[in-house]
Amino acid sequence: MAKTTNRQRGVRTTAIHAGEGIDPTTRASSPNLVMSSTFAPSEVAGFSARNRDNYDGYVYARVSNPTVRQLEDKLAALEGAQSCQCYASGMAASSALLLGRLSQGDHLVISDTNYVGTAELVRDSLPRFGIEVTPVDMSDLDMVERAVTPRTRMLWVETPANPIMRLADIAALSRLARAKGVRDVAVDSTFASPIATRPLDFGADFVVHSLTKYIGGHGDAMGGAVLGRKDDLDALNLEATVHYGGVLSPFNAWLILRGAATLPIRMRAHEETALAVAKFLEGHGKVKRVFYPGLASHPQHELARRQMKNFSGMMTFQVEDGPALARRMVDRLEIVHYAVSLGHHRSLVYCIPTDALMRSTFRHQGELLERYRNFAGDGVFRFSVGIEDAEDICADLDEVL
Ligand SMILES: *Cc1c(COP(=O)(O)O)cnc(C)c1O
Instruction: Give pLDDT tens digits for 247-262.
Output: 999 999 999 999 999 9
Give the integer Cα–Cα distance in Å for 65 and 85: 11
CA of 277 to the centre of ligand 1 (A): 24
> Would you identify the CATH topology of the domain 263-400?
Aspartate Aminotransferase, domain 1 (3.90.1150)
CA of 223 to the centre of ligand 1 (A): 9
CA of 93 to the centre of ligand 1 (A): 9
282-323 per-position pLDDT tens digit: 999 999 999 999 999 999 999 999 999 999 999 999 999 999
CA of 48 to the centre of ligand 1 (A): 31
Residues within 6 Å of ligand 1 by CB: 89-91, 115, 117-118, 158, 162, 188, 190-191, 210, 212-213, 222, 224
- Listed by start position, the domains of the chain span 11-260, 263-400
Q: Using alpha carbons only, what angle is made at residue 85 by residues 249 and 313, rounded to the nearest 5 degrees?
A: 85
pLDDT value for 1: 44
Contact 112, 362 (CB under 8 A): yes
Among the atoms of ligand 1, which is closest to the Cα of residue 118? 10
Entry pTM: 0.97
Contact 115, 147 (CB under 8 A): no
E-strand ranges in 326-389 read 337-338, 348-353, 379-384
Q: For ligand 1, atom 8, which residue shows the shortest CA distance?
A: 90
Options 3.30.70.260, 3.50.50.60, 3.30.870.10, 3.40.640.10; CATH for 11-260 is: 3.40.640.10
Which residues of the chain carry a pLDDT beneath 70? 1-6, 53
Pocket test for ligand 1, best of 210, 215, 342, 348 (most atoms within 8 A of CB): 210
Among the atoms of ligand 1, which is closest to the Cα of residue 212? 7
Among the atoms of ligand 1, which is closest to the Cα of residue 342? 15
Shortest CA distance to 391 belongs to which of 272, 289, 287? 272
